[in-house]
Amino acid sequence: MKAKPFVKWAGGKGQLLNKLEKRLPSYVLKEKTIPRYVEPFVGGGAMFFYLQGRYEIRESYLSDNNEDLILTYKVIKNSAKELIDELLEIEAFHLEKSEDKRKENYYRIREAYNSQEIDYQTKSQEWIERASYFIFLNKTCFNGLFRLNSKGLFNVPFGRYNNPTICDEKNLKEVQNALKDTNLFQGDFTESTEYIDDASFVYLDPPYRPLNETSHFTSYSKEGFNDESQRKLADFFKEMDQRGAKLMLSNSDPKNHDEGDGFFDELYKDFNLERIPAKRNINRDASRRGKINELVVRNYP
């Protein structure tokens, strides 16, 4: 068994991994080795776990601007057993209830999560509780979304699931093994700059630009990620290209809904931009789920 994402994550790359793998730098495919892997928007980690199970990654630097996501990664890396014990207790308490009582329990834990005050710099027992709440909410909320309001409060409603797996014990242990030698840190993508050199392969999977006015899945942190952020990321891409790093970036294709929207075509006109078919499953309106194109941008052939 190989590690897989321990959370559901909007825009997760599970379905595209084979296609992305074919587009890895030629030296990676040939030598089955990545000297230095950097992922500044790690999210659910689908790409990292996929590569880690198939290639030798000598150094890895994973980061995200979402404080609780990175805290949870750190807890799994350093305290998986304690987290599993906590999650098993939460799972048993939750699943024995009727649906109405599960709903009450969900909002009780969401309130506890939102009212917690956490010191993100100093490891403590509270980290384990915070991580357990984070995973519980992800597994039991509507569509596995992570969304914060302008006050930084998690506001996703209860999701209706017959038998959600809140504690995937085997996978959490595999994730711990995969993270053993990984460097984890929280921060804006620009904070990865110091780890990127000409031996690096950098995978960038930012919060997606909304496909339309009603599909705003960008609030993974209270700061959000708007078009100005996307432009700043494109500048970062160009700067890291100048360093000699190999870069791959994914994003939603605005042409799925507006053929005239060349936002990313213009931003990355100097690079290799491809459109590859995918499926988008996270939409309130089931009729609007289905096949779309996603963008993959590379600075190499």
Please tell me whether residue 206 adopts helix, strand or coil conformation.
Answer: coil
pLDDT tens digits, one per residue of 94-110:
999 999 999 999 999 99
Q: How sure is the predictor about 228, in pLDDT bands with cuts at 50, 70 and 90?
A: very high
Flag whether pLDDT at 71 surpasses 90: yes
CA gap 279, 246 in Å, rounded: 27
Q: Are residues 77 and 124 in the same domain?
A: yes
Q: Which of 52-66, 183-197, 208-222 has the lowest mean pLDDT?
A: 208-222
Mean pLDDT of all residues in 111-132: 96
**CA gap 112, 108 in Å, rounded:** 6
Is residue 2 domain-resident? no
What are the angstrom distances between the C-alpha of 202 and each of 33, 61, 70, 132, 247? 14, 10, 18, 30, 5
- The pLDDT score that the predictor gives to residue 220 is 54
Please give the Cα distance from 156 to 149 (Å, whole number): 9
- Residue-level pLDDT at 166: 97
Beta strands in 7-75 (DSSP E): 33-34, 36-39, 56-57, 60-64
What's the structural domain count of the chain? Answer: 2
Q: Is 17 exposed, middle or buried (0-12, 13-18, 19+ CB in 10 A)?
A: middle
Regarding whether 234 and 192 lie in a shared domain, the answer is yes
Cα distance between residue 89 and residue 166, in whole Å: 10
* Distance from C-alpha of 146 to C-alpha of 206, rounded to nearest angstrom: 14
In a domain, 269, yes or no: yes
Mean pLDDT of the 21-42 span: 98
In a domain, 136, yes or no: yes
135 and 238 part of one domain: no
> pLDDT digits over 245-293, tens only?
999 999 999 999 899 999 999 999 999 999 999 876 544 454 445 678 9
Average pLDDT over the chain reads 92
Dihedral in degrees, nearest 10, Cα atoms 203, 245, 68, 220: -60
Do 234 and 93 lie in one domain? The reply is: no
Q: Given this model, what pLDDT does residue 55 score?
A: 97
Residue 113 pLDDT exceeds 60 = yes
Give the CATH number of the domain where residue 212 resides.
Answer: 3.40.50.150
Determine the Cα–Cα distance for residues 67 and 83; give it in Å rounded to an integer: 17
Residue 213 predicted with pLDDT over 60 = no
Is 8 part of a structural domain of the chain?
no
Indicate whether 194 and 57 sit together in one domain.
yes
251 shares its domain with 293: yes
Residue 140 included in any domain? yes
Domain hosting residue 88, numbered range: 68-166
* 11 pLDDT above the threshold of 90: no
Whether residue 262 is contained in a domain is answered as yes
Q: What is the pLDDT of residue 289?
A: 52
Residue 278 in domain? yes
Same domain assignment for residues 121 and 195? no
Residue 104 contacts residue 118 (beta carbons within 8 Å): no
CATH number at residue 147: 1.10.1020.10
Higher model confidence: residue 288 or residue 60?
60
160 and 192 belong to one structural domain: no
Least confident interval from 2-11, 18-27, 193-202: 2-11
Query: Are 114 and 204 found together in one domain?
Result: no
Q: Do 103 and 90 reside in the same domain of the chain?
A: yes
Question: What is the pLDDT, as a whole number, of residue 13?
Answer: 81
Q: Is residue 178 part of a domain?
A: no
- Is there a single domain that holds both residue 47 and residue 123? no
Same domain, 151 and 77: yes
| Contact (Cβ atoms closer than 8 angstroms) between residue 27 and residue 191 | no
Q: Is the pTM of this model over 0.85?
A: yes
